[in-house]
A and B are shown apart, each in its own frame.
Chain A
Amino acid sequence: MSLVNLRGRVAWIFEEDDYDIDLIIGVRNIKITDVKELAGLAMSDYVPDFASTVHPGDMLIGGHNFGYGHPHYPAMRAMRHLGISCVIAESFSPGFFRGEMSMGFPLVTCPGIRAAVTRGDALEVNWDTDAVCNVRTGQKLPLQPFSASERGMLDAGGLIPYLKARIARANDARAPVG
């Protein structure tokens, strides 16, 4: 399994820097574990019926230091359930970045993205050229490439399958030949 290029529309643009992602489902809902319920609550403090506007593959756009605070997992669980394929932001808060990448969920750092898109634009994320393209405007922006282990995690679909594959490879390498 390998990471495939992404194509989807901009489902939402979070304009503010240091955005606290817990606000996506509302802090009062943070202890809910049922993903369907969480998905139904996503963005309900911003817009009615967000869920019905999302198509599989859609993307979220963020500002600088997206995910600052004490990020919890329910917000992005809800977004993935709705079909959101990635978040593209000016930059990410490290704790949020590590947590979600380990779920195999791409967090794409792309300086300039916030000003380059409007809600509803179709975007393409190309991992071969490390670029994000706005299909409507034709504008291409470079994305910050992932480190080898980050890319490995995304290719494998998360930290656990990535570690399993790595350990298996190490064991194979140690196995006697023939």
Chain B
Amino acid sequence: MSQTMTEKILARASGKESVKPGDEITARPDFVISYDFPGYTDVFFKETREDFGIEKVSSPERFVLFIDHMVPATAPKEEELHKVTRAWGKEQGVPVYEREGIGHQVAAELGYATPGAFVVHFDGHVSQLGAFGSFAFGARKGVIESFVTEYVTMTVPATVKVELVGTLQPGVMARDVFHHMVRVMGPASCRFKAVELCGPVIDQMSIEGRQTVCGQAMFLGATTMLIAPDAKTMAYVSGRSKVDLAPVHPDPDAVYERVVTIDVSSLEPIVVVPPSPANTRDLKDYLGVEVHTGYLGSCASGRLEDLRVAAEVLRGRRIQPGFQLHVVPTSKAIMAAAAREGLIECLVEAGAFISSPSCDYCFGRIATMSDGQRAVSTGTLNTPGRMGSVDSEIYICNAAVVAASALEGRIADPRPYLAEAATAAGAIA
């Protein structure tokens, strides 16, 4: 029977020959991933023990915990939560990675993103492991099922195939591609579906760009998004994968609920305007809007290519006096690589405030905005109050737009700066 990647992965995980959309299955996750957060992990630990009488989780090697929110702690109760997490990991034999970076990225670096793997988390942004051909599902509180049984119950989603064709223009990044998909397809277009992404644009796209796109699947309503592994994927996962699985590809005659083809050749940089991630607009219609702060980071963006493009825009320049530019590399490994490339020096000299990896800028726990302030951001979300006051505003955009806007104190087009940098590089060469 012909199957999509989604169907093949879920069939294997549920011990069946094949599955079809609408089947309710009980599937065994290859990995159960969480970060510690009040109301989630602390509750899972307590329920597992007190409601279910389970002292030790079954197959602890499948579990991994990250401490990436509330890092560093600013109140004793936050540090208490981390202590509970460390203690639980130690007692259960479950690894706890702390201060290594944002868990969704570090999971990939550590080899939990294995092509063909079935992964659960409570947070839907885990879908970014789909960049490596994993089926990674944010089950919210349903993850507790995987703590107290070895399984998770779910309905097999129908698969939507999205083929991205054409060539990206200079200054257009993976971030623009994703939000353009939301604009073209609609924020509810893939509700409860899996999206399998393919086409020449994906073939050309870096692993980092693929992580950016797949991680935002929830804003199409999708359960997850995944990309068939190719040579780039295999080069990345080789020597890292935590489990030995045959990579999974869709059958050529797999049946999709829908096939959508999007030509991105005419796509220009976008901005997602408040108050909803559904509001993709052309950047050119928002140029000149005064902004006070900029955030370059998050599990969606903040990787090397984002830092490189920001450095290209900012090299030899200074950001607007009074503008707050926060640059937060997604992981420690990325931060170290950026330092080796001289990107950190360049960004600091331009006036950026650089932080070690943390999730906390993305949800306003630090660098909190006050009433009337406006941000350009590569964070995940632009709902009211997400980065501070309910009366502040967030404009989501790519990393180059954040950098250019920091220079001008207004929403700005990075392409003239990038063109200038390219010309200068050409002159040197």
Contact = CB atoms under 8 A, between A and B. Distances in A.
Contacts of B138: 95
B282 interface: no
A79 B47 CA distance: 25
B149 interface: yes
B24 A91 contact: no
27 contacts: A18-B187, A18-B188, A18-B278, A20-B276, A22-B384, A26-B390, A27-B390, A28-B390, A68-B188, A69-B276, A69-B383, A91-B191, A92-B191, A93-B221, A94-B192, A94-B218, A98-B139, A99-B140, A147-B24, A148-B24, A149-B24, A149-B153, A159-B144, A160-B51, A163-B144, A163-B149, A164-B51
Interface string B379-420: 001011110001000000000000000000000000000000
Given A93-B221, A95-B124, A164-B52, A17 B141 contact: no
B47 A22 contact: no
Given A69-B277, A147-B24, A94 B390 contact: no
Interface residues of B, number: 35
B384 A65 contact: no
Interface of B: 24, 39, 47, 51-52, 124, 138-142, 144-145, 148-149, 153, 155, 187-188, 191-192, 218, 221-223, 275-278, 381, 383-386, 390
Nearest to B383: A69
A167 interface: yes
Interface in A96-114: 98-99, 102
Interface size class of A (residues with CB under 8 A): 20 to 34
A149 B27 CA distance: 13
Contacts, number: 84
Contact of A163 (B139, B145, B221): B145
A30 interface: yes
Given A30-B385, A159-B145, A167-B149, A102 B140 contact: yes
A115 B347 CA distance: 54
A35 B275 CA distance: 26
A99 B145 CA distance: 13
Contacts of A26: 390
Contacts of A160: 47, 51, 144
Given A22-B383, A93-B191, 10 more contacts: A27-B385, A65-B187, A65-B188, A91-B191, A94-B218, A95-B218, A98-B139, A102-B141, A148-B24, A167-B148
A94 B223 contact: yes
A30 B390 CA distance: 11
